């Protein structure tokens, strides 16, 4: 079925003004437009491209070392005179550590293996005087003197160390297994603070197990003596732990068949917060994945994740432990607002009604757990400096609530300080929080206003105020040493431009510090006088720069890792355009590529390709270097072949706030396909595209959306390639899927509405399915089941390519090349 697209496009776009300061950019890209509503064209300012040189598929799909081995994970040296960064080893996945002086030339020198321990303090922790920094290298603890640069090794063994923390008395604590130790740095004396045991507390004598045992104990005197002796030895040992300071403290027993999920020691060393859960065993409800190409020449099975349909609730039991007395107090969730609310009431009612049943709602405790650490980068259980107060971030397992609570240490009670509720789901990003120094206040990030912003909670006044506000995202917050200024990354001037800003903790004007006009990350120097910047543009991969810590200061480039070979190729300059949506007020931000000789008045419209990014919640229409760099180069080749190409950030993408993110709740594949319809229509009206000759492709979530577009809007795309695609969300993982679609047992309506396998009868256009066979993320079975469905529907115009050794993220250049040759042929055969 062919269809002519005639969509009315709204005339107005967002009119958020950009900064009036003139952008200063010595690096990779600048933008020509002063208004967010106009196209922004990325301009190359380095390199000498050869406009006649053809972009070859074998080159762009080769090992990416030929492009650049960019600096990664950059950080300052202890004295701020040099910077350190990881760099990929040529021809190998290994990374080497490099060091470069601020005034040196070149890309730095590789740090010798024998010296790595002296520089491994990137994520170290400082003491209260800020003159010492402790860190872990190869499982062992080291301390750096930040005044002299001297490094002292504290441990040398093979056990893992973590949870480093300076205590208020100057000792350094660390965790090994479930034991916590403290080291006196003056004399090296190490003592056990607490040993956590996941078993029941031992008893000297067991109670009789049956009537025979009871009679035996009462009848035989020898048995009574043995029991009495054991009890005396046990009691002496218990008193020894309590009364003799030379003996390690008695263990804390958390119960049999329990797993420690989270733990945090007070800086005073006197208390601890512990979260335990029932072991989440994979055996029995996990899956296996066969590997056909193996070193043994035999089929080998690999254990892989469970599916969302098999998910079990994760609930943490919280304990406050007094390390002096060994007393353990369970912390109830009953003080949290909504702790027993039926937040899925309307969803369950709808699903019950669809089955002809009636749902009866009731209030009952929800599964609640401590927020994952990677979701809360400042820590998920944070103490104030002297250990007199502690805050904890909690999340409901049904994904609808996030709480920040403090703990009443005297009464052993949780006190709610902030509840973030979302009818859809709470973001796993933007969850940083911590104490403000020397105060009874907490700062935190929240999407409560639609966009992530900084808030301060005054616990004494029981009031919360916003420090930042507006239609932009705040992330990667750093509080300065004085505790009076927040530094952060934000897309304040444009959704696709991320710069560095600062704002007083007390509130006031937000000050823009960088004007690099791409994607910029930062680290404050040790004395806070400079910024170490990692910056990229759409045309150049990340490089390192340094800038004085003031607005619009001059920028010095530190590294130049991009190859001359890459710079010499004629990469097209994509426009960054807000395509008007026919469904919502905000535009659909997109990157648009056109041929060098593009003629908007050409009689014959251009063929076009729409790229759909993966991950769902990801931003690709931005002004920085894309993680889809191979796709960027492929799009460049397509423009040389006369195609117009568009990458879009459909609804559900990152970078545009909560409402844009949650538009896909319970309907994945519906708003996104509406956005695809809009961008195709826009290309027809504004880029002279023949809308009867448009193709699409994408991987992972992009593969899923390729299916949904072809199945639900036949004729929108003449051809589509779905790479490593999801076909049935009930078979995907829990953490991602349950956020958006709830659980299958609660909301099968959402799964049927959102899974391509239920719409396969709509296929009419050419389809390529590209499936890696050892994909531990999206199982190969997803593609297999859909192929069987297409066979049963007697569909003809589809083909499948399998890749026997590839996981979800392709690695081998030969696999990349084969896959994209097939995609290119699909478009050439069907769009020209």
- 157 is a domain residue: no
CB 315 within 8 A of CB 331: no
CB 494 within 8 A of CB 18: yes
Q: Averaged over 101-125, what is the pLDDT?
A: 96
Q: CA-to-CA distance for 750 and 738, rounded, in angstroms?
A: 11
Last residue of a domain, one of 526, 543, 568: 568
Residue 40: predicted pLDDT? 39
**With 70 as the cut, is the pLDDT of residue 51 above it?**
no
Q: Which of 212, 150, 143, 201 is nearest to 172 (CA)?
A: 143
Q: CA-to-CA distance for 787 and 785, rounded, in angstroms?
A: 5
- 92 is a domain residue: no
- 378 is a domain residue: no
One domain for residues 523 and 606: no
Distances (CA, A) of 225 to 219, 239, 619: 12, 21, 73
Residue 511: predicted pLDDT? 98
pLDDT range class, residue 49, cuts 50, 70, 90: low
Question: Can you give the residue range of the structural domain that contains 505?
Answer: 1-31+467-568
Residue 37: predicted pLDDT? 37
**With 60 as the cut, is the pLDDT of residue 13 above it?**
no
CB 619 within 8 A of CB 726: no
Q: CA-to-CA distance for 396 and 316, rounded, in angstroms?
A: 10
One domain for residues 774 and 625: yes
Residue 50: predicted pLDDT? 66
One domain for residues 551 and 587: no
One domain for residues 499 and 645: no
One domain for residues 827 and 736: yes
> Within 187-342, where are the H helices?
211-219, 221-243
Q: CA-to-CA distance for 811 and 313, rounded, in angstroms?
A: 35
Alpha carbon 269 to chain centroid, angstroms? 32
Strands (E), 436-580: 441-446, 453-458, 463-466, 474-479, 485-494, 497-504, 511-512, 519-524, 530-536, 543-548, 555-557, 575-579
Q: CA-to-CA distance for 334 and 205, rounded, in angstroms?
A: 37
Assign residue 771 the CATH number of its domain: 3.40.50.1820
Which residues face 530 on adjacent strands? Answer: 548
For 271-308, write each residue's pLDDT tens digit: 999 999 998 654 446 788 889 898 999 888 888 988 99
CB 663 within 8 A of CB 651: yes
Non-local CB neighbours of 446 within 8 Å, separated by 6+ positions: 418, 420, 430, 452, 453, 455
One domain for residues 594 and 525: no
One domain for residues 726 and 749: yes
For 355-405, write each residue's pLDDT tens digit: 999 999 999 999 999 999 888 888 999 999 999 999 999 999 999 999 999
Last residue of a domain, one of 535, 568, 601: 568
Q: CA-to-CA distance for 159 and 613, rounded, in angstroms?
A: 41
CB 684 within 8 A of CB 605: yes
- 289 is a domain residue: no
Residue 224: predicted pLDDT? 86
Percent share of the chain, pLDDT over 90: 83
Q: Which of 722, 589, 746 is nearest to 666 (CA)?
A: 746
For 673-731, write each residue's pLDDT tens digit: 999 999 999 999 999 999 999 999 999 999 999 999 999 999 999 999 999 999 999 99
**With 80 as the cut, is the pLDDT of residue 821 above it?**
yes
Q: Which of 788, 795, 793, 792 is nearest to 764 (CA)?
A: 795
CB 11 within 8 A of CB 529: no
> Within 595-718, where are the H helices?
629-640, 658-661, 671-686, 701-712
Q: Supply the pTM of this predicted model.
A: 0.91
Q: Residue holding tokens 């797993």?
A: 259
Q: How many structural domains comprise the chain?
A: 2
Last residue of a domain, one of 546, 568, 590: 568
Q: CA-to-CA distance for 173 and 181, rounded, in angstroms?
A: 5
- 679 is a domain residue: yes
Q: CA-to-CA distance for 785 and 783, rounded, in angstroms?
A: 6
Distances (CA, A) of 796 to 695, 764, 787: 18, 9, 11
Distances (CA, A) of 153 to 126, 183, 729: 16, 12, 49
One domain for residues 802 and 733: yes
**With 50 as the cut, is the pLDDT of residue 17 above it?**
no
One domain for residues 624 and 749: yes
For 124-139, write each residue's pLDDT tens digit: 999 999 999 999 999 9
Which residues face 803 on adjacent strands? Answer: 772
- 716 is a domain residue: yes
Residue 48: predicted pLDDT? 55
One domain for residues 688 and 791: yes
CB 340 within 8 A of CB 365: yes
Assign residue 547 the CATH number of its domain: 2.120.10.30
Residue 285: predicted pLDDT? 63
One domain for residues 608 and 527: no
- 784 is a domain residue: yes
**With 90 as the cut, is the pLDDT of residue 803 above it?**
yes
Which residues face 722 on adjacent strands? Answer: 698, 769
- 748 is a domain residue: yes
One domain for residues 564 and 597: no
Q: CA-to-CA distance for 562 and 580, rounded, in angstroms?
A: 36
């Amino acid at each position: 079925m062919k269809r002519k697209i005639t969509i009315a496009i709204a005339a107005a776009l967002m009119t958020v003004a950009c900064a009036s300061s003139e952008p200063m950019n010595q690096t990779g890209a600048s933008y020509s437009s002063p208004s967010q509503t106009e196209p922004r064209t990325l301009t190359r300012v380095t390199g000498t491209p050869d406009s006649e040189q053809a972009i070859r598929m074998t080159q762009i799909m080769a090992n990416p070392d030929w492009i650049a081995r960019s600096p990664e994970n950059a950080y300052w040296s202890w004295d701020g005179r040099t910077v350190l960064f990881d760099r990929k080893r040529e021809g190998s996945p290994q990374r080497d550590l490099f060091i470069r002086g601020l005034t040196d030339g070149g890309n730095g020198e590789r740090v010798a293996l024998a010296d790595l321990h002296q520089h491994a303090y990137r994520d170290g922790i400082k003491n209260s005087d800020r003159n010492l920094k402790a860190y872990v290298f190869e499982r062992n603890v080291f301390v750096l003197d930040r005044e002299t640069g001297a490094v002292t090794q504290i441990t040398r063994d093979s056990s893992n160390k973590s949870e480093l923390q300076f205590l208020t008395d100057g000792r350094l604590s660390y965790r090994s297994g479930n034991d916590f130790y403290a080291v006196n740095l003056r004399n090296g004396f190490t003592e056990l603070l607490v040993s956590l045991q996941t078993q029941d507390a031992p008893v000297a004598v067991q109670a009789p197990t049956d009537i025979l045992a009871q009679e035996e104990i009462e009848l035989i005197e020898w048995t009574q003596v043995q029991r009495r002796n054991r009890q005396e030895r046990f009691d002496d040992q218990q008193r020894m732990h309590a009364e003799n300071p030379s003996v390690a403290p008695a263990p804390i027993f958390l119960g049999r068949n329990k797993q420690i999920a989270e733990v945090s020691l007070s800086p005073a060393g006197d208390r601890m917060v512990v979260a335990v859960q029932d072991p989440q065993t994979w055996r029995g409800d996990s899956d296996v994945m066969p590997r056909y190409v193996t070193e043994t020449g035999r089929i080998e099975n690999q254990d892989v994740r469970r599916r969302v349909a098999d998910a079990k609730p994760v609930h943490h039991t919280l304990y406050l432990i007094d390390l002096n007395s060994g007393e353990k107090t369970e912390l109830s969730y009953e003080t949290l607002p909504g702790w027993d609310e039926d937040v899925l009431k309307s969803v369950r009612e709808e699903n019950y009604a669809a089955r002809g049943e009636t749902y009866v709602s009731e209030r009952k405790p929800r599964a609640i757990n401590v927020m994952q650490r990677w979701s809360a980068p400042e820590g998920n259980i944070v103490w104030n400096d002297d250990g007199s107060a502690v805050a904890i971030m909690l999340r409901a397992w049904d994904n609808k609530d996030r709480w920040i609570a403090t703990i009443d240490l005297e009464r052993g009670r949780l006190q709610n300080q902030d509840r973030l509720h979302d009818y859809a789901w709470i973001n796993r990003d933007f969850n940083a929080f911590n104490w403000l120094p020397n105060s009874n206040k907490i700062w935190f990030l929240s999407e409560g206003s639609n966009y992530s912003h900084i808030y301060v909670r005054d616990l004494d006044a029981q009031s919360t105020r916003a420090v930042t506000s507006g239609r932009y995202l705040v992330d990667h917050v750093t509080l300065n040493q004085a505790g009076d200024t927040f530094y952060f990354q934000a897309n304040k001037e444009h959704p696709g431009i991320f710069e560095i800003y600062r704002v007083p903790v007390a509130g006031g004007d937000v000050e823009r510090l960088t004007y690099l006009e791409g994607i910029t990350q930062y680290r404050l120097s040790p004395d806070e006088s400079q910024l170490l910047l990692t910056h990229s543009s759409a045309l150049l991969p990340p490089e390192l720069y340094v800038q004085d810590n003031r607005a619009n200061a001059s920028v010095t480039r530190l590294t130049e890792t991009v190859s001359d070979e890459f710079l010499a190729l004629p990469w097209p300059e994509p426009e960054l355009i807000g395509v008007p949506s026919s469904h919502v007020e905000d535009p659909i931000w997109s990157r648009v590529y056109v041929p060098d000789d593009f003629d908007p008045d050409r009689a014959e419209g251009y063929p076009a390709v729409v790229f759909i990014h993966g991950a769902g919640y990801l931003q690709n229409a931005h002004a920085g270097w894309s993680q889809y760099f191979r796709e960027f180069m492929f799009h460049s080749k397509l423009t040389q072949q006369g195609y117009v190409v568009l990458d879009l950030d459909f609804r559900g993408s990152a970078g545009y706030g909560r409402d844009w993110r949650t538009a896909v709740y319970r309907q994945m594949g519906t708003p996104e396909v509406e956005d695809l319809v809009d961008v195709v229509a826009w290309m027809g009206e504004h880029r002279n595209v023949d809308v009867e000759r448009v193709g699409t492709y994408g991987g992972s979530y992009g593969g899923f959306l390729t299916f949904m577009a072809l199945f639900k809007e036949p004729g929108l795309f003449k051809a589509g390639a779905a790479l490593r695609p999801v076909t049935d969300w009930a078979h995907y993982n829990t953490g991602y899927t349950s956020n958006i679609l709830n659980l299958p047992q609660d909301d099968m309506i959402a799964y049927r509405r959102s899974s391509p396998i239920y719409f396969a009868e709509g296929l009419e256009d050419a389809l390529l399915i590209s499936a890696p066979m050892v994909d531990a993320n999206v199982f190969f079975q997803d593609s297999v089941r859909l192929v069987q469905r297409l066979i049963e529907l007697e569909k003809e115009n589809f083909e499948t390519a399998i890749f026997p050794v590839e996981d979800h993220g392709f690695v081998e250049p030969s696999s990349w090349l084969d896959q994209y040759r097939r995609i290119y042929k699909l478009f050439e055969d069907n769009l020209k």
